[in-house]
Structure 1
Amino acid sequence: MSGRWWLLPGTLCTAEVFEPLLGALAVSPQQCRSVRLDRPAVEDYAAELASVEDEDIVLGFSLGAILAAHHLDRMRALAAVLIAANPFADTPEKSAARLEQLARISVEGPGAVMAAAWPALVGPDARENPAVGNRIVAMAEQTVQDLPAQTELALRRPGAEPMLASARSRALFITGREDPAAPPDRAMRAAAIGRHELVLVDGAGHFLPLEAPRACAEAIRAFLLGRGQDRS
């Protein structure tokens, strides 16, 4: 783990979403570079991600993992870890839900909307942990100005199937079995493209880095050591 860690957080998230996971991996902040999701198109990130080097690790969560998947055919990373990713183009229902979220937040504010929404996004254990919810709400309040660009990015992106098939980096998908936003069947489909690896985490929902940091860290260590295996 001598290279940099490129952190691509998700919608309404800061790089703080990765802190428990990075702590479990003993990765220091000095080793990390965060990519802010504040631009509306996949290609808007091409120049920044062109700086990824052979020994670097790309760590993406949710929309950040989707963005990373769309650049797998170009990035020279040692590995890409895609957490809670659904790298396929949105269904009409998913697109409608994104637009509804944007409209609600513009009226009610990010704190109120995410305070009501987060329990349905996490697994049963995390629902009993208010610290998880507090962190999700705080991140949303810090990043709400980027939500219009993030929504457009999610709506406009193509599916990442060609990039998964011709990836230059090994990819590990980690998904919670209870994830309603990026269901496990999508991760299973995506991992099969290009024969990437997959770990499903029991009892966890969408916010895996906060809910199950040790399970994620264990999967990443095994993957980077070449011992990763499909645990589906």
Structure 2
Amino acid sequence: MAGRWWLLPGTLCTAEVFEPLLGALAVSPQQCRAVRLDRPAVEDYASKLASVEDDDIVLGFSLGAIVAAHHLDRMRARAVVLIAANPFADTPDKSAARLDQLARISAQGPRAVMTAAWPDQVGPAAREDSAVGQRIVAMAEQTVQDLPAQTELALRRPGAEPMLASARSPVLFITGREDRAAPPDRATRAAAIGGHELVLVDGAGHFLPLEAPQACAEAIRAFLLGRGQDRR
């Protein structure tokens, strides 16, 4: 897959969350530019994403996908792929869960909290894969300093409905059918705004790029080929 890839990881994640997926697509690290989510407002990322060019692919996961969605009306990319995205404003229960996570991690540390939490964030097959859990915990330990800003970003953002309706790039949503954090009905609603493409992955939870990298890669490859965008 030729071209430059912009990587926007999620809460408590590094760009490592995309590694199995990018490997399946034969995308090299030299092609990638990671955007660190360390600022508390959607607009804080405008200057970085202003550098996205026509031949680039933007790959967002979870909170990173939400940030990407809020810039769809400005970015003109080869494709924007939103994985495990819920681009609507938080409901009260979701906001409360974010604040609770921040409080627990502040008190107990990321390893203890995420070791207990990750099995509920993945699909049935991935719960038996300790390597997936180890990656999730390790990423949380590397990014815990960014959690206050990430929590504020998630709480403060409005819904991205206007940007979805006026997207300037082809958009693909990929969501796991077992995703509890960003349920598939939210992705279905979001994709319908603007007539974007949606792929639901059976058996997968929230951490799709780690749980089902091959399925994600196949969805992305088909999306690019279907639009005549694969310029390998």
Whether TM exceeds 0.5 here: the answer is: yes
Unaligned runs of 5+ in 1: none
Do structure 1's residue 163 and structure 2's residue 163 form an aligned pair?
yes
Root-mean-square deviation over aligned CA pairs = 0.9
The amino acid of 2:106's aligned partner reads S
Q: How far did residue 118 of structure 1 move? A: 0.3
Deviations 1:5-57 (A, max 9, x none): 00000000000000000000000000000000000000000000000000000
The amino acid of 1:210's aligned partner reads L
Deviations 1:99-154 (A, max 9, x none): 00000000000010000000000000000000000000000000000000000000
Alignment check: 8 A CA contact 2:90 2:155 kept: yes
In structure 2, the residue matched to 1:2 is 2
SS at match of 2:7: strand
Do structure 1's residue 68 and structure 2's residue 51 form an aligned pair?
no
Deviations 1:142-178 (A, max 9, x none): 0000000000000000100000000001100000000
Do structure 1's residue 201 and structure 2's residue 212 form an aligned pair?
no
SS at match of 1:199: strand
Deviations 1:205-231 (A, max 9, x none): 000000000000000000011169xxx
The amino acid of 1:193's aligned partner reads I
In structure 2, the residue matched to 1:192 is 192
5 Å-filtered alignment, 1:12-23, equals 12-23=12-23
Unaligned runs of 5+ in 2: none
Q: How far did residue 85 of structure 1 move? A: 0.1
Cα distance in 2 for partners of 1:23, 1:105 equals 31
Q: How far did residue 76 of structure 1 move? A: 1.2
In structure 2, the residue matched to 1:222 is 222
In structure 2, the residue matched to 1:109 is 109
Task: Name the % identity.
Answer: 89
The amino acid of 1:13's aligned partner reads C
Alignment check: 8 A CA contact 2:61 2:82 kept: yes
SS at match of 1:206: coil
Cα distance in 2 for partners of 1:18, 1:155 equals 24
Deviations 1:67-91 (A, max 9, x none): 0000000011111000000000000
Do structure 1's residue 138 and structure 2's residue 138 form an aligned pair?
yes
Cα distance in 1 for partners of 2:41, 2:6 equals 19
Cα distance in 1 for partners of 2:44, 2:226 equals 32
Cα distance in 2 for partners of 1:145, 1:8 equals 17
Alignment check: 8 A CA contact 2:2 2:27 kept: no
The amino acid of 2:145's aligned partner reads Q
TM-score by length of 2: 0.97
Cα distance in 1 for partners of 2:83, 2:210 equals 11
Alignment check: 8 A CA contact 2:75 2:169 kept: yes
Q: How far did residue 2 of structure 1 move? A: 2.6
Runs of 4+ deviating beyond 4 Å? none
SS at match of 1:124: coil
SS at match of 1:102: helix
